[in-house]
Amino acid sequence: MNNAPLTRQQRKRLRTRNQLKEAAMSLLLEMGYEAITIQHITDRADLGRGTFYLHFKDKSDVVWALIKDGIDAADRNAHQRMGIMEHSNSEHFGYLNMFQHASQNKDLYRVMLGSQGSSMLTSRVQDYMADELKKDMQKIPIYNEFKGVPDKIVAQIVTGAVVRAIIWWLETPNDYSPEEMAAMLYETLHHKKPPTYN
């Protein structure tokens, strides 16, 4: 693993890329995915259109970059925290982590999955989450109650349930906490009471 410090040029490139992502995020929340253009993004970031194309192919590419950053951060956090937990609790802990992350990043999740995004973005997020779940299922023995069902099918079913539950929870007035949502999802999919953590 290369831990060498970034050069001045690399730091500048990273700052510019982040400016474009931040501009895209603020515009998504104001206008929704369909209404924004590359020109809107570059105007908001106070950068030239040519600069945009040095970093991203198109509007969907910059939006996907900020979404992927959020998903990957949630995944890293879950794997770090899961190290101290029993693998038998992995399914519930994964749901709990998703709802807690969604609660802390409501704007990002509304862009990723809700009415401020697009069906293309939601589909891309679900595909990515299903692929990540499939990798987790191969590393640790989770979802044992679904033995006999191919991992790729289990990943699609579980991801679909998680995504729909998060969308409903964020966009429908309710008083459910992340813990309550994770517990209900776990009971629905796994037909048992969720574990408790000390």
Q: Cβ(46)–Cβ(57) under 8 Å?
A: no
Q: What is the mean pLDDT of residues 10-15?
A: 92
Q: Quote the number of domains for the chain.
A: 2
Residues 186 and 176 in one domain: yes
Q: In this predicted structure, which of 21-25, 113-117, 122-126, 152-156 has the lowest mean pLDDT? A: 113-117
Residues 68 and 163 in one domain: yes
The residue with greater pLDDT, 129 or 16, is: 16
Q: Which residues of 94-114 are buried (b: 16+ CB within 10 A; e: fewer)?
A: bbbbbbbbbbeeeebbbbbbb
pLDDT in tens, 82-99: 654 555 567 888 888 889
- CATH code, domain carrying 28: 1.10.10.60
pLDDT in tens, 98-126: 898 889 888 778 777 776 667 888 888 88
Range of the domain at 162: 58-190
Residues 87 and 17 in one domain: no
Residues 48 and 77 in one domain: no
Q: What is the mean pLDDT of residues 48-73?
A: 90
Q: Which string of DSSP letters, residue by residue, matches 80-114?
A: HHHTTS-GGGHHHHHHHHHHHHHHHTHHHHHHHHS
Residues 98 and 24 in one domain: no
Domain membership of residue 198 (yes or no) is no
Residues 68 and 46 in one domain: no
Domain membership of residue 196 (yes or no) is no
pTM, full prediction: 0.75
